[in-house]
Chain A
C-alpha cells in the first residue's frame, strides 16, 4: 500500500538555526501523487502549509520550502532560519488527484520545538 515516512520527533532546534524534516513516500497505487505538508500549532487544527502537485516543482510558504523529488520519492521540508513560533507538529501527506485528493496518506508527524 501507499505510505509516508518522516523524521521521528521530537526535533529540537535553536532559534535562527536551519531545519530539515525528512519525508519519503511510497505510492504504489498512485501514478502521480500530490504532496502536502500540514502543520498543527498547539491548540489548533491542521493547517495546510504547502502543496506541490508536479514532480520537480518546489512549494514554499512562511519561509518553509519543499521540493517534490520523484526520483528519490522525497518531499523534505526545509527552513533556513526557524523561529519560536514555528514550534508545532508537521505532517507530510500524499493524495491521489484522481480521487479528489481527500483520502490522504499521512506520515506520523514530527514535533518541532524551537528554543530561544
Chain B
C-alpha cells in the first residue's frame, strides 16, 4: 500500500479556476514537501512544512498556498490557474533529520486548459 497518498492522480482545470491537490502521508514523518515538474523540466522544490509550520517557500507566486490541517496532511491550493501551471505535482515527506532522503508520492498531473 502506498504510504504517501496523493489525490487526484489526474486533474483537468480551466484557466482562472481554483483547485486543491491532496496529500496524506502514513509514515509518521514530521516534515512534508511539495515539488513540481513541468514538461521537459527538472523537478523543482516548492515548499517545506515541519510540524505544520512553513519552513521554506521557493515559489514566487502567492497563487500557490499549502494547507496543513493535520500533521500528516499537506494540501496545495492553487488559485487563478494558468496554462503554465500545467505540471505534475509531487508530495514528499521525511523525518526532519539530516541526510534522510524524502519519500515521494505518485504525483498529481494537472492540466490547465
Contact = CB atoms under 8 A, between A and B. Distances in A.
A105 B42 CA distance: 8
Contacts, number: 72
Q: Is the interface of B mostly helix, strand, loop or mixed?
A: loop
Range class of the B interface residue count: 20 to 34
A101 B100 contact: yes
A99 B97 CA distance: 9
Interface residues of A, number: 28
Contact of B99 (A4, A53, A105, A106): A53
Interface in B61-113: 90, 92, 94, 96-107
B4 interface: yes
A96 B19 CA distance: 32
A91 interface: yes
B48 A102 contact: yes
Contacts of A100: 31, 94, 96-98, 100
Contacts of A63: none
A38 B96 contact: no
8 contacts: A34-B99, A44-B106, A45-B105, A46-B104, A48-B103, A100-B98, A101-B100, A109-B43
A36 B43 CA distance: 14
B42 A108 contact: yes
Given A101-B98, A102-B92, A104-B43, 8 more contacts: A34-B99, A98-B98, A100-B96, A101-B101, A102-B31, A102-B33, A102-B56, A109-B43
Contact of B90 (A34, A45, A98, A103): A45
Nearest to B4: A45
A102 B102 contact: yes
- Name which of B31, B40, B45, B100 has the most chain A CB atoms within 10 A of its CB: B100
Nearest to A93: B43
A106 B2 CA distance: 23
Given A100-B98, A102-B94, A103-B56, A45 B107 contact: yes
Nearest to A49: B101
Contacts of B94: 100-102
B96 to A, nearest CB: 6
